[in-house]
Amino acid sequence: MQTLTFDSDDLDLTEDFLSRAYARMRIGGSPAGSRARVRRSATPSLSVDELALDFDMSYAVTPLGRICLCVVHDGTIEDHVYPGVQDSFGPGDVVSFVPPDQAYAGVVRAARYNITMLDPALLDQVATAAPAAHAGPVRLTGHRPHSPAAADRLRGAIAYLRDHVLADPDLADQPLVASTAAQHLAATVLATFPNSALTDPTGSDRADAHPAALRRALTYIDDHADEPVTVAEIAAAAHITVRALQYAFRRHLDTTPLAHLRRVRLAHAHHELLAADPSDGTTVTQVAVRWGFAHPGRFAALYRAAYGRSPHRTLVEP
């Protein structure tokens, strides 16, 4: 994981920093009182930035090449424009800021806000584009959430990523934790904004979602549970589409591929706790993190629901 901080009241330095951190841009503002503060936490596939500008800053930015999400805490972002969109955002708004391949411009007016960016390829790891809608990768087709509830879920996912995963560099560097967090964010983004993904299985998908394909998927999950695994990789191993894979899990197991993967990893954590010796320093948190569970409280709740006891009790009283 990488962290980056910036604090300056020099417009030229701010423009140079923002150009290196995001994409080439031109900014404008009053030379007096132009303090800008930025803190970034990043993994290879995503980054979460908290920005605070004490002044009104105009911006004109070249394409980012990343999916960019914005959550406004205080202040406003006005006259935000890119081809086909002109909008303004205020406190509480969560939006898809700009498509990866579009230049954009606008004005930040003394605002505190969050910018979260992720690799567009993450969307393809959890969904498949609808052939009739788009011949290429999955894309977001709208910048406002479907509903207030969807916006709340995305805000929560970003806050969880920032406060529980990226806040601890050792935790964020765990491959299973990073992979799980990235896929969860990508899935939440797709559930929040209009997009080109096809969620309903086609006739071919339904035909392909047979027990043999499901068995191949289950075998792949069992064999690779200790590795970063994506839904797309599971589908490829089963020789079916992501949609067919999701349909097969719903039809035959009444669950999802990622939920089943989590259950398998939870079982591995359970067996590791049973075999562990607490006198050698092994902790529940260490075991949980090793199997991709970043939040101790959530791990404990999942464990208790599955095994009827706390993970700590299993560790000390196997």
Domains of the chain: residue spans and CATH? 2-120 (2.60.120.10), 262-316 (1.10.10.60)
Confidence of residue 137 (pLDDT cuts 50, 70, 90): confident
Q: Is the pLDDT of residue 134 over 50?
A: no
The candidate with the shortest Cα–Cα distance to 104, out of 78, 84, 82, 83, is 82
201-236: per-residue pLDDT in tens?
678 878 888 999 999 999 999 999 999 999 999 999
pLDDT, tens only, 13-56: 999 999 999 999 999 997 777 999 999 999 999 999 999 999 99
DSSP 8-class letter at 165 = I
Is the CB of residue 113 less than 8 Å from the CB of residue 75? yes
| pLDDT higher than 90, residue 92 | yes
pLDDT of residue 133: 46
User: In whole angstroms, what separates CA 177 from the centre of its chain?
Assistant: 11
Mean pLDDT of 173-199: 90
Could you give phi then psi for residue 42, rounded to 5 degrees? Answer: -145, 145
DSSP per-residue letters across 3-53: EEEEEE--HHHHHHHHHHHTS-EEEE--STT--EEEEEEEETTEEEEEEEE
pLDDT > 90: percent of the chain: 84
